[in-house]
A and B are shown apart, each in its own frame.
Chain A
Amino acid sequence: MTIQPPNGAGMNRRTLLTGAAAVTAAAGLTFPRHVFSQTEKGHPLAGKSIRMAILGIAGWLPSKLGVDMSPDFAKYAKARYGYDVSFSFADAPFGQLFQKAATSLATRSAEYNIIISDSQWLGALATPKWIVPLNDIIAKNKELDVEWYAPVVRQAYQTFPDGTANRYGFPQEGDTFALFIRKDLLDAPGEAEAFKARYNMEMPKTWEDFEQLSIEDYTKLAEFFTRPDKGYHGAAMQYSREYDFISCPLLSFMRSQGGDVWDPKTGQVQGIIDSDSNTRAMTQYKAMLKHQPPGAINYGIAEVIDVFTQGKAFSAWQWAAVGKAMIPASMQGKVMVVPPPGFKQADGTLKRDYIIGGQPWVLNAFNDDAHARVALDFMKWWYLPETQMEFAKRGGNPCDKATLSTAGFDELQPWYRTYKYMLPRSSDFWHDAKYSEMLAVQQEAFTAYATGQINDPAHALAYVACKQQDILFDSGTASKQPSGACSGIRL
């Protein structure tokens, strides 16, 4: 075979390869020695410049850290792989991020090369083949087969469909519920005595005390610290209709008392979410409003941060991910982060089965080879022990066992001990392509009951069961149609 140069003179393949080798050798000799010594030989992108785009969650610290730390990756990539990489970032609030990602991916766009997804979206992103299946990649890159702190990390942030070995996400940050307590109010003189006099029980003071705290006893504490005359209330929890704000804590109440939302194997919802136990949990969760500031019915993540940091709530149920925002400089030393209450079981033990938060990275399936390769390199860098430790130092929540087991990890951030404790006590709900449709129905019914639009919690759950069963039957996930009782059901 002969390659014809422009001047028409023939040049055989050997000559061409020899020339190319000479040029490469010359380039190698002129390359800075310190970089050459660290550069991974033969990287296909060496010498090139790549621009990457990350889509993340607006106003969410761990998401922000993921992008804030990317310049470190740029330095690492230059030194190790020999290419230049720069990043651009786009973001959207939780409620709009999926839409932003999905509308872009639906057009087979590589506008966002790496996306920080919410855990429940894996199904909706994987089913239309918008994100890269990771099994083969992980098999070929053993450093990405990370040992996680708890099995839930893989289940929640990587796996779709539930119960399979198929992986689609790389954990970006782990997240769990935590209870933020105003320790200064708890320790104020006379409070413990007054509490004991009123409830005939010791006031919980330490992390260990709170570990043993049941929801009934927590309610007493919230009631005790509800003092509107002094401008604060006992608790702040989420009830907003936005995104999954009311669902996450309320489903935690349900699951911790033996309830569930569906059977992921059969897609059955009716007869599961509308159980008596879940109905009781609805009543219980609504009753907590008594101990919260007026307007708690509108609270989402941001509002809970606001009321707590402005001293209007003694305690707040909040995601560990926003720990930094919950404990600003003005609150340093006044706040204790403890596990949220447990729920008494028939045998007298306490159970916590809370909804997990946190997000995985997912890789755009429409990336070209170069961007796919950089995304992969980025993930390898992300799980380096030093990167994960830096992430932890900045307030992110790593999930890998090595980092979480490092001596002193619990003291790195005020919420880390609780985060670590809650991680194995948390689980996700629905990894299904119809996630957002099911969530919309659920949020609508839960808030309808919480706000008094309807007064029967059983009816709210029956509505959710009927609508979700219909959605899942329509999509082929559930084998059973909604029962006849669902005909014409409305809020």
Chain B
Amino acid sequence: MPALSPAGGVARFLGRRTVLPGLLLVPVLAFFIVWNTIPTLWLLGLSFYRFSLTSGRAPIYAGLLNFQNILNDSGVWLDLSRTLLFVVSGVGIQTVLGMLLGLLFWNSQRLPGRRVALTMLFAPMVLTPVASGTFWRLIYDPTFGVLNAMLRGVGFSGANFLGDSSTAFAAVLVVDVWMWTPFMVLMTLAALASVPKAELEAAEIDQLTWMQRLRLVLLHHGKYILMLGILLRTIDSFKTMDLIYNMTFGGPGTTTQLVAITLYRRAFEAFNMGWSSALAVILLLISIAFTATFIFVLHWREKAEA
């Protein structure tokens, strides 16, 4: 039996089916463990402690007390219900508008200025929410704002969009829709691009109506990408904080206080780390539930169609 050289041994070791892919994954796994798994476990651990950063006292183990306090806090439930309303209405409007605009752009390939229009359309999405929130606050301002100036210019009386508890929620929702509809346009365009050309031609030969074409061809092929867009937007919308914080600070009163704002305030204004960690864990579980539900629905329909 010939003796193996060390180089040959390494090559054989790396040549094994599982070793090289495993080694290539190590950097990503290490990054994931350091920046994701450990902080999440730390967060989970902290949620079982009573710990305020400004109390000067060491954390005290409190079992499920933080979770119990959160579940008994009517304010948190109100914030959660407000958040769900924000997510459902916001993502719903963005999806419908995004699909409509996406179809419009898809059908207007030869329209002059299409690229410029698309670039302008995507601009809100690439702005930081802090900047968007700040300039929308100025746009809405009843004294100096351009929107009220325009309203007054056409004979309406001005309105305090962000200061009036009856309009503030809708006003921040409009900004969220303005900001994130382009994302759904992008997802729609990606979804439409995934439709095989042959099927589109077949639909044309078969003289399918526009609605039939949309349902049987476009949505049939594009639904996975659209679903992914909705899922990403839902998770992201559930975490909305900076945009609203810059416009209303969650006010007037608690009218625009979403649960992420509550979490921010309790964690980084009040420094109540135990309670905040418990709320973060609950929000994480809700986000996971959203994801699981979407994936389940997607697979369920897939199986039903099969």
Contact status A491-B254, CB under 8 Å: yes
- Given A242-B249, A433-B54, A453-B165, A490 and B270 touching (CB < 8 A)? no
Q: B293 to chain A: closest CB distance in Å?
A: 29
Contact code string B285-301 (vs A, CB < 8 Å = 1, else 0): 00000000000000000
Give how many A residues have a beta carbon under 8 Å from the other chain's beta carbons.
44
A2 contacts partner chain B, Cβ-Cβ < 8 Å: no
Contact code string B254-297 (vs A, CB < 8 Å = 1, else 0): 11010000000110111110000000000000000000000000
Choose, from A179-187, A419-427, A434-442, the stretch at the interface. Answer: A434-442
Residues of B within 8 A of A475 (CB): 52, 55
Contact status B251-A440, CB under 8 Å: no
A16 contacts partner chain B, Cβ-Cβ < 8 Å: no
Q: Complex: how many Å from CA A129 to CA B57?
A: 10
A110 contacts partner chain B, Cβ-Cβ < 8 Å: no
Contact of B271 among A294, A436, A454, A489 (CB under 8 A): A436
Contact status A294-B56, CB under 8 Å: no
- Given A451-B163, A488-B74, A307 and B252 touching (CB < 8 A)? no
Contact status A128-B162, CB under 8 Å: no
B75 contacts partner chain A, Cβ-Cβ < 8 Å: yes
**Of B158, B254, B255, most A-chain CB atoms within 10 Å:** B254
A448 contacts partner chain B, Cβ-Cβ < 8 Å: yes
Contact status B165-A102, CB under 8 Å: no
Contact status B164-A452, CB under 8 Å: yes
B160 contacts partner chain A, Cβ-Cβ < 8 Å: yes
Contact status A490-B249, CB under 8 Å: no
| Closest B residue, CB atoms, query A307 | B143
Contact status B78-A490, CB under 8 Å: yes
Q: A98 to chain B: closest CB distance in Å?
A: 8
| Closest A residue, CB atoms, query B75 | A490
The dominant DSSP class at the B interface is loop
B141 contacts partner chain A, Cβ-Cβ < 8 Å: yes
B35 contacts partner chain A, Cβ-Cβ < 8 Å: no
Contact residue range for chain B?
35 or more
Contact code string B222-239 (vs A, CB < 8 Å = 1, else 0): 000000000000000000
Residues of A within 8 A of B53 (CB): 102, 106, 128
Q: B268 to chain A: closest CB distance in Å?
A: 5
Contact status A436-B252, CB under 8 Å: no
Residues of A within 8 A of B56 (CB): 127-129, 433
Contact status B54-A241, CB under 8 Å: no
A295 contacts partner chain B, Cβ-Cβ < 8 Å: yes
Residues of A within 8 A of B257 (CB): 444
Contact status B270-A437, CB under 8 Å: yes
Contact status B54-A453, CB under 8 Å: no
Contact of A440 among B52, B164, B248, B270 (CB under 8 A): B270
B124 contacts partner chain A, Cβ-Cβ < 8 Å: no
B92 contacts partner chain A, Cβ-Cβ < 8 Å: no
Contact status B143-A294, CB under 8 Å: yes
B253 contacts partner chain A, Cβ-Cβ < 8 Å: yes
B31 contacts partner chain A, Cβ-Cβ < 8 Å: no
Residues of A within 8 A of B250 (CB): 241, 444
B142 contacts partner chain A, Cβ-Cβ < 8 Å: yes
| Closest B residue, CB atoms, query A440 | B265
Contact status B269-A437, CB under 8 Å: yes
A293 contacts partner chain B, Cβ-Cβ < 8 Å: yes
Residues of A within 8 A of B166 (CB): 452
Q: A311 to chain B: closest CB distance in Å?
A: 12
Contact of A451 among B142, B148, B251, B266 (CB under 8 A): B251
Q: Complex: how many Å from CA A124 to CA B266?
A: 14
Residues of B within 8 A of A241 (CB): 248-253
Q: Complex: how many Å from CA A310 to CA B143?
A: 11
Q: Complex: how many Å from CA A242 to CA B158?
A: 23
Q: B279 to chain A: closest CB distance in Å?
A: 14
Residues of B within 8 A of A452 (CB): 164-166, 252
Contact code string A445-458 (vs B, CB < 8 Å = 1, else 0): 10111111110000
| Closest B residue, CB atoms, query A245 | B249
Q: B250 to chain A: closest CB distance in Å?
A: 7
Q: Complex: how many Å from CA A271 to CA B144?
A: 41
Q: Complex: how many Å from CA A491 to CA B79?
A: 12
Contact of A454 among B148, B158, B253, B265 (CB under 8 A): B253
Residues of B within 8 A of A242 (CB): 249
Contact of A127 among B55, B252, B255 (CB under 8 A): B55
Q: Complex: how many Å from CA A474 to CA B188?
A: 51
Q: Complex: how many Å from CA A294 to CA B141?
A: 9
Residues of A within 8 A of B148 (CB): 294
| Closest A residue, CB atoms, query B160 | A295
Contact status B269-A99, CB under 8 Å: yes
Q: Complex: how many Å from CA A349 to CA B102?
A: 70
- Given A453-B253, A488-B74, A294 and B160 touching (CB < 8 A)? yes
Contact status B253-A294, CB under 8 Å: no
Residues of B within 8 A of A454 (CB): 253
Q: Complex: how many Å from CA A454 to CA B254?
A: 10
Contact code string A288-303 (vs B, CB < 8 Å = 1, else 0): 0000011101100000
Residues of A within 8 A of B55 (CB): 127-128, 433, 475
| Closest A residue, CB atoms, query B162 | A298
Contact status A447-B143, CB under 8 Å: no
| Closest A residue, CB atoms, query B249 | A241
Q: A127 to chain B: closest CB distance in Å?
A: 4
Contact status B252-A451, CB under 8 Å: yes
| Closest A residue, CB atoms, query B168 | A451
Residues of B within 8 A of A310 (CB): 144
Contact status A450-B270, CB under 8 Å: no
Contact status B160-A298, CB under 8 Å: yes
Contact of B160 among A129, A297, A306, A447 (CB under 8 A): A297
A240 contacts partner chain B, Cβ-Cβ < 8 Å: yes
Between-chain CB contacts (< 8 Å), 20 pairs: A124-B271, A127-B55, A128-B55, A241-B250, A298-B162, A310-B144, A433-B54, A434-B52, A437-B269, A437-B270, A444-B250, A444-B251, A447-B251, A448-B165, A448-B253, A450-B252, A451-B163, A452-B252, A490-B75, A491-B75
**Given pairs A295-B163, A444-B257, A445-B253, 10 additional interface contacts (CB within 8 A):** A95-B249, A294-B143, A295-B143, A297-B252, A312-B143, A447-B252, A451-B253, A475-B52, A491-B75, A491-B254
Name A's B-contacting residues (CB within 8 A).
Answer: 95, 98-99, 102-103, 106, 124-125, 127-129, 240-242, 293-295, 297-298, 306-307, 310, 312, 433-434, 436-437, 440, 443-445, 447-454, 475, 488-491
Pairs of residues from A and B, 10 with the lowest C-beta to C-beta distance, nearest first: A448-B253, A295-B142, A451-B252, A453-B253, A437-B270, A241-B251, A297-B163, A128-B56, A453-B165, A294-B142
